[in-house]
Amino acid sequence: MNYPTYETLALELVGGQVLVVTLNRPEVLNAINTQMGRDLLDLWTRLTADAGAVRCAVLTGAGERAFCAGGDLKERNGMTDEAWRAQHELFERAFMALMECPVPVIAAMNGYAYGGGLETALACDFIFAARGARFALSEVRLGIMPGGGGTQNLPRAVGERRAKELILAARAFTAEEGHEWGLVNRLCEPGHALADALDTARAIAENAPLSVRQAKKSIHYGLQTDIATGYRFEIEAYNRLVTTEDRIEGVRAFNEKRKPAFRGR
Protein backbone atom coordinates (compact mmCIF):
# COMPACT_ATOMS: atom_id res chain seq x y z
CA MET A 1 0.00 0.00 0.00
CA ASN A 2 1.02 3.61 -0.42
CA TYR A 3 1.64 5.78 2.62
CA PRO A 4 1.41 9.55 2.74
CA THR A 5 4.45 11.65 3.55
CA TYR A 6 4.29 12.29 7.29
CA GLU A 7 5.66 15.44 8.88
CA THR A 8 6.93 13.68 12.00
CA LEU A 9 7.56 10.10 10.87
CA ALA A 10 10.06 8.54 8.46
CA LEU A 11 9.07 5.24 6.84
CA GLU A 12 11.26 2.64 5.17
CA LEU A 13 10.18 -0.71 3.79
CA VAL A 14 12.96 -3.22 4.36
CA GLY A 15 13.03 -6.39 2.30
CA GLY A 16 9.54 -5.71 1.02
CA GLN A 17 7.88 -6.98 4.22
CA VAL A 18 9.23 -5.10 7.26
CA LEU A 19 8.21 -1.48 7.81
CA VAL A 20 10.62 0.64 9.83
CA VAL A 21 8.82 3.58 11.42
CA THR A 22 11.07 6.32 12.83
CA LEU A 23 9.81 9.00 15.20
CA ASN A 24 11.48 11.86 13.37
CA ARG A 25 11.75 14.97 15.52
CA PRO A 26 15.39 14.59 16.66
CA GLU A 27 15.73 18.31 17.41
CA VAL A 28 13.34 17.82 20.37
CA LEU A 29 14.35 14.21 21.13
CA ASN A 30 11.35 12.92 19.18
CA ALA A 31 8.84 14.45 21.59
CA ILE A 32 5.20 13.79 20.70
CA ASN A 33 3.37 16.87 19.51
CA THR A 34 -0.13 17.14 18.08
CA GLN A 35 1.05 16.47 14.54
CA MET A 36 2.90 13.33 15.59
CA GLY A 37 -0.29 12.16 17.27
CA ARG A 38 -2.16 12.67 13.98
CA ASP A 39 0.58 10.92 12.01
CA LEU A 40 0.76 7.90 14.31
CA LEU A 41 -3.02 7.51 14.40
CA ASP A 42 -3.15 7.62 10.61
CA LEU A 43 -0.31 5.12 10.19
CA TRP A 44 -1.58 2.50 12.66
CA THR A 45 -5.10 2.86 11.27
CA ARG A 46 -3.85 2.29 7.73
CA LEU A 47 -1.84 -0.76 8.80
CA THR A 48 -4.92 -2.18 10.49
CA ALA A 49 -7.19 -1.58 7.51
CA ASP A 50 -4.77 -2.86 4.87
CA ALA A 51 -1.24 -3.91 5.74
CA GLY A 52 -0.48 -4.85 2.16
CA ALA A 53 2.90 -6.58 1.98
CA VAL A 54 3.90 -5.49 5.51
CA ARG A 55 4.22 -8.45 7.86
CA CYS A 56 6.01 -6.78 10.77
CA ALA A 57 6.85 -3.23 11.83
CA VAL A 58 9.74 -1.83 13.87
CA LEU A 59 9.27 1.46 15.71
CA THR A 60 12.36 3.47 16.61
CA GLY A 61 13.50 7.05 17.20
CA ALA A 62 15.75 9.30 15.13
CA GLY A 63 19.22 9.77 16.58
CA GLU A 64 21.02 7.82 19.26
CA ARG A 65 20.10 9.91 22.32
CA ALA A 66 16.40 9.20 22.66
CA PHE A 67 13.63 6.92 21.52
CA CYS A 68 11.08 9.52 22.58
CA ALA A 69 11.16 12.18 25.28
CA GLY A 70 7.40 12.01 25.81
CA GLY A 71 4.80 14.68 25.23
CA ASP A 72 6.01 17.99 23.82
CA LEU A 73 5.70 20.20 26.90
CA LYS A 74 6.70 23.34 25.01
CA GLU A 75 3.66 22.92 22.78
CA ARG A 76 1.52 22.18 25.81
CA ASN A 77 2.70 25.20 27.79
CA GLY A 78 -0.23 27.60 28.15
CA MET A 79 -2.77 25.24 26.55
CA THR A 80 -6.35 25.73 27.65
CA ASP A 81 -8.07 22.84 29.41
CA GLU A 82 -10.20 22.30 26.32
CA ALA A 83 -7.19 22.19 23.99
CA TRP A 84 -5.31 19.85 26.33
CA ARG A 85 -8.21 17.40 26.47
CA ALA A 86 -8.68 17.54 22.70
CA GLN A 87 -4.99 16.82 22.12
CA HIS A 88 -5.01 13.98 24.62
CA GLU A 89 -8.08 12.44 23.02
CA LEU A 90 -6.11 12.33 19.78
CA PHE A 91 -3.20 10.68 21.59
CA GLU A 92 -5.59 8.17 23.17
CA ARG A 93 -6.85 7.08 19.76
CA ALA A 94 -3.27 6.73 18.51
CA PHE A 95 -2.27 4.56 21.48
CA MET A 96 -5.33 2.35 21.02
CA ALA A 97 -4.70 2.03 17.28
CA LEU A 98 -1.16 0.85 18.04
CA MET A 99 -2.31 -1.65 20.67
CA GLU A 100 -5.04 -2.96 18.34
CA CYS A 101 -2.83 -3.15 15.24
CA PRO A 102 -2.90 -6.74 13.91
CA VAL A 103 0.62 -6.42 12.48
CA PRO A 104 3.33 -7.16 15.08
CA VAL A 105 5.19 -4.02 16.15
CA ILE A 106 8.63 -4.20 17.81
CA ALA A 107 10.00 -1.19 19.69
CA ALA A 108 13.72 -0.61 19.03
CA MET A 109 14.74 1.78 21.80
CA ASN A 110 18.02 3.43 20.92
CA GLY A 111 18.03 5.85 23.85
CA TYR A 112 15.97 7.11 26.73
CA ALA A 113 12.17 7.20 26.82
CA TYR A 114 10.07 9.15 29.28
CA GLY A 115 6.34 9.53 29.81
CA GLY A 116 4.44 9.06 26.58
CA GLY A 117 7.61 7.82 24.92
CA LEU A 118 7.83 4.85 27.25
CA GLU A 119 4.07 4.35 26.96
CA THR A 120 4.45 4.17 23.18
CA ALA A 121 7.05 1.41 23.55
CA LEU A 122 4.85 -0.40 26.09
CA ALA A 123 2.00 -0.34 23.56
CA CYS A 124 4.19 -2.29 21.12
CA ASP A 125 4.31 -6.09 21.21
CA PHE A 126 7.78 -6.23 22.73
CA ILE A 127 10.91 -4.15 23.24
CA PHE A 128 14.57 -4.32 22.25
CA ALA A 129 16.61 -1.66 24.06
CA ALA A 130 20.17 -0.38 23.96
CA ARG A 131 22.28 -0.87 27.05
CA GLY A 132 22.46 2.27 29.14
CA ALA A 133 19.10 3.63 27.98
CA ARG A 134 16.95 5.13 30.74
CA PHE A 135 13.18 5.07 31.06
CA ALA A 136 10.57 6.62 33.33
CA LEU A 137 6.88 7.31 33.73
CA SER A 138 7.35 10.60 35.52
CA GLU A 139 3.99 12.27 34.87
CA VAL A 140 3.11 12.69 38.55
CA ARG A 141 5.92 15.27 38.76
CA LEU A 142 3.94 17.41 36.33
CA GLY A 143 0.61 17.26 38.13
CA ILE A 144 -0.82 14.65 35.75
CA MET A 145 -0.47 10.86 35.53
CA PRO A 146 0.26 8.31 32.80
CA GLY A 147 -2.52 8.57 30.24
CA GLY A 148 -1.20 6.50 27.33
CA GLY A 149 -1.83 3.08 28.84
CA GLY A 150 1.09 3.31 31.26
CA THR A 151 -0.88 2.32 34.37
CA GLN A 152 -2.17 -0.72 32.45
CA ASN A 153 0.74 -1.90 30.33
CA LEU A 154 3.57 -1.36 32.84
CA PRO A 155 2.03 -3.54 35.60
CA ARG A 156 1.28 -6.21 33.02
CA ALA A 157 4.97 -6.20 32.12
CA VAL A 158 6.67 -5.86 35.52
CA GLY A 159 3.94 -6.64 38.07
CA GLU A 160 1.61 -4.45 40.10
CA ARG A 161 3.89 -3.66 43.03
CA ARG A 162 6.94 -2.69 41.00
CA ALA A 163 4.78 -0.61 38.64
CA LYS A 164 3.32 1.28 41.60
CA GLU A 165 6.80 2.09 42.85
CA LEU A 166 7.99 3.29 39.45
CA ILE A 167 4.91 5.38 38.66
CA LEU A 168 4.16 6.83 42.09
CA ALA A 169 7.79 7.74 42.81
CA ALA A 170 8.38 8.83 39.18
CA ARG A 171 11.53 6.73 39.40
CA ALA A 172 13.78 6.41 36.38
CA PHE A 173 15.22 2.98 35.65
CA THR A 174 17.73 1.52 33.24
CA ALA A 175 17.28 -0.76 30.27
CA GLU A 176 19.22 -3.36 32.26
CA GLU A 177 16.66 -3.19 35.08
CA GLY A 178 13.85 -3.34 32.55
CA HIS A 179 15.39 -6.50 31.10
CA GLU A 180 15.70 -8.07 34.53
CA TRP A 181 12.02 -7.32 35.26
CA GLY A 182 10.71 -8.64 31.94
CA LEU A 183 9.90 -5.26 30.38
CA VAL A 184 12.69 -5.48 27.80
CA ASN A 185 13.02 -8.63 25.71
CA ARG A 186 16.59 -8.08 24.65
CA LEU A 187 19.47 -5.81 25.63
CA CYS A 188 21.42 -4.57 22.63
CA GLU A 189 24.77 -2.92 22.28
CA PRO A 190 24.54 0.86 21.77
CA GLY A 191 23.67 1.60 18.17
CA HIS A 192 22.45 -1.93 17.47
CA ALA A 193 18.86 -1.95 18.78
CA LEU A 194 17.36 -1.35 15.35
CA ALA A 195 19.51 -3.95 13.62
CA ASP A 196 18.71 -6.55 16.27
CA ALA A 197 15.00 -5.76 16.09
CA LEU A 198 15.13 -6.07 12.30
CA ASP A 199 16.61 -9.56 12.61
CA THR A 200 13.62 -10.67 14.68
CA ALA A 201 11.19 -8.76 12.44
CA ARG A 202 12.54 -10.67 9.42
CA ALA A 203 12.05 -13.97 11.26
CA ILE A 204 8.44 -13.01 11.99
CA ALA A 205 7.91 -11.89 8.39
CA GLU A 206 9.00 -15.30 7.09
CA ASN A 207 6.10 -17.00 8.86
CA ALA A 208 2.51 -17.23 7.67
CA PRO A 209 1.15 -13.68 8.15
CA LEU A 210 -2.42 -14.72 8.96
CA SER A 211 -1.10 -17.19 11.53
CA VAL A 212 1.10 -14.53 13.12
CA ARG A 213 -1.80 -12.08 13.38
CA GLN A 214 -4.22 -14.63 14.80
CA ALA A 215 -1.63 -15.79 17.37
CA LYS A 216 -0.92 -12.18 18.39
CA LYS A 217 -4.62 -11.49 18.82
CA SER A 218 -5.12 -14.67 20.85
CA ILE A 219 -2.30 -13.79 23.26
CA HIS A 220 -3.42 -10.16 23.59
CA TYR A 221 -7.09 -10.84 24.31
CA GLY A 222 -6.64 -14.15 26.08
CA LEU A 223 -4.58 -12.52 28.82
CA GLN A 224 -7.50 -10.21 29.57
CA THR A 225 -9.77 -13.07 30.61
CA ASP A 226 -9.72 -16.42 32.45
CA ILE A 227 -7.79 -19.30 30.91
CA ALA A 228 -10.87 -21.29 29.81
CA THR A 229 -12.35 -18.30 27.98
CA GLY A 230 -8.94 -17.47 26.57
CA TYR A 231 -8.59 -21.01 25.27
CA ARG A 232 -11.99 -20.77 23.59
CA PHE A 233 -10.79 -17.57 21.91
CA GLU A 234 -7.61 -19.39 20.84
CA ILE A 235 -9.60 -22.19 19.19
CA GLU A 236 -11.78 -19.68 17.34
CA ALA A 237 -8.62 -17.97 16.09
CA TYR A 238 -7.09 -21.35 15.18
CA ASN A 239 -10.11 -22.56 13.22
CA ARG A 240 -10.05 -19.48 11.00
CA LEU A 241 -6.66 -20.66 9.72
CA VAL A 242 -7.71 -24.18 8.72
CA THR A 243 -9.32 -23.07 5.46
CA THR A 244 -6.52 -20.72 4.37
CA GLU A 245 -4.27 -21.24 1.37
CA ASP A 246 -1.27 -20.62 3.63
CA ARG A 247 -2.18 -23.59 5.84
CA ILE A 248 -2.27 -25.84 2.78
CA GLU A 249 1.00 -24.37 1.49
CA GLY A 250 2.72 -24.72 4.87
CA VAL A 251 1.93 -28.41 5.20
CA ARG A 252 2.74 -29.09 1.56
CA ALA A 253 6.10 -27.29 1.82
CA PHE A 254 6.99 -29.24 4.96
CA ASN A 255 6.33 -32.54 3.19
CA GLU A 256 8.17 -31.41 0.07
CA LYS A 257 11.12 -30.26 2.22
CA ARG A 258 11.15 -26.72 0.85
CA LYS A 259 10.59 -23.21 2.15
CA PRO A 260 6.91 -22.23 2.07
CA ALA A 261 5.73 -19.32 -0.07
CA PHE A 262 3.10 -17.69 2.13
CA ARG A 263 0.72 -15.22 0.48
CA GLY A 264 -1.46 -14.14 3.38
CA ARG A 265 -4.52 -15.89 1.99
Q: Is residue 27 annotated as a catalytic residue, yes or no?
A: no
**200 vs 105, 128, 193, CA distance in Å?**
11, 10, 11
* Residue tagged active-site, from 82, 89, 92, 119: 119
Provide the 3-class DSSP secondary structure of residue 256: coil
Helix axis angle, 227-242 relative to 209-222, nearest 10°?
A: 170
Q: Is residue 256 annotated as a catalytic residue, yes or no?
A: no
Provide the 3-class DSSP secondary structure of residue 102: coil
- Write out the H or E segment, with its range, that includes residue 99: helix 81-100
* Residue tagged active-site, from 7, 100, 139, 177: 139
3-state secondary structure 105-148: EEEEECCEEECHHHHHHHHCCEEEEECCCEEECCHHHHCCCCCC
The residues annotated as belonging to the active site are: 119, 139
